[in-house]
Amino acid sequence: MCGVGYAGSQTPLYIPEIKKELEEEDADCTILMMHCGVGPYSYGVGDGISLDEIMELKGVVDYLALGHYHTKFELDGWIYNPGSLETVSLSEKGPKGFYHFCDGEAKFVEISVRKIERIVVDVGDANSPDELYQIVGKVCDGVDGNDAIVSLTLTGDLRFSINSLSLKRVKEIVKERLSPIYVDVSLKRHLAPTPVYRAKSGIKNVERDVIEAIVRSDARYSVWSKLLSELLIDVKGTAAKGDTDRAYEMLEKTFRMMEEQHADSRD
């Protein structure tokens, strides 16, 4: 048994020397340990070795024991990487364990590891952050996440501003419902294409269209998109003239009207 430490991009340079020394040893069974990726399992530049290069050792090495990458893989019946014994990253998938090499045969022995629950929640139907939180809570009610690492991914087109969404609140909901040992929350929302405006449209029209598109993308205010786009342009102009009191008054009056109409619609 022999081994080579991590050499990064220099690893291929050691192959001829390793082969020469092993041929001189002429052992009945040679186990070589190396710290590198091989072929399709080298994910970065300069951190592994090609399959053609490692094949130079075939015939002089009976069992090549690899480390470095956390994913289990086997190549050509003599190259083995068991991966990490524990899940280190939520992106890791597949069984965890080790290889038992005996009498020329390698057998993978799977071991138990920390439980991981991966949850994907489509929140495209939520019209507000509160509705999104309710959806997350209902999904969590059907999951066994006790003493588990929970990875929660929110997907879908958000129907309100992302600035009003609290991922911290989403984490709190998961912790309250599932009692996990760790929670990771990510948001993979689908973004609407950005409209392209020609110069001939005029800066005022472009400004109005952009503001209206932003407001329209939020389900809570979309019905008032034209009203609010005009209001915001007027407020900006009023504030630019130094009449901030008037600007605040315009905003308060409009939002009070919107709240009253919203209350009437619920009745």
- pLDDT, average across residues 128-145: 92
Domains in the chain: ranges and CATH:
2-110 (3.60.21.10), 116-189 (no CATH), 199-266 (no CATH)
CB count within 10 Å of CB 47 equals: 17
- The enclosing H or E element of 187 equals strand 182-189
Query: 3-class SS at 93?
Result: coil
- pLDDT, average across residues 71-93: 89
Q: What is the mean pLDDT of the chain?
A: 85
CB 18 within 8 A of CB 32: yes
pTM for the predicted model, two decimal places: 0.59
Confidence of residue 44 (pLDDT cuts 50, 70, 90): low
- pLDDT, average across residues 261-266: 61
**Tell me, what's the pLDDT at 106?**
93
**Tell me, what's the pLDDT at 267?**
53
Residue range 155-180, pLDDT digits in tens: 988 888 888 899 999 999 999 999 99
User: Could you tell me if residue 230 is left (phi over 0), alpha (psi between -120 and 50 degrees) or otherwise beta?
Assistant: alpha
d(CA 39, CA 48): 8
**Tell me, what's the pLDDT at 189?**
66
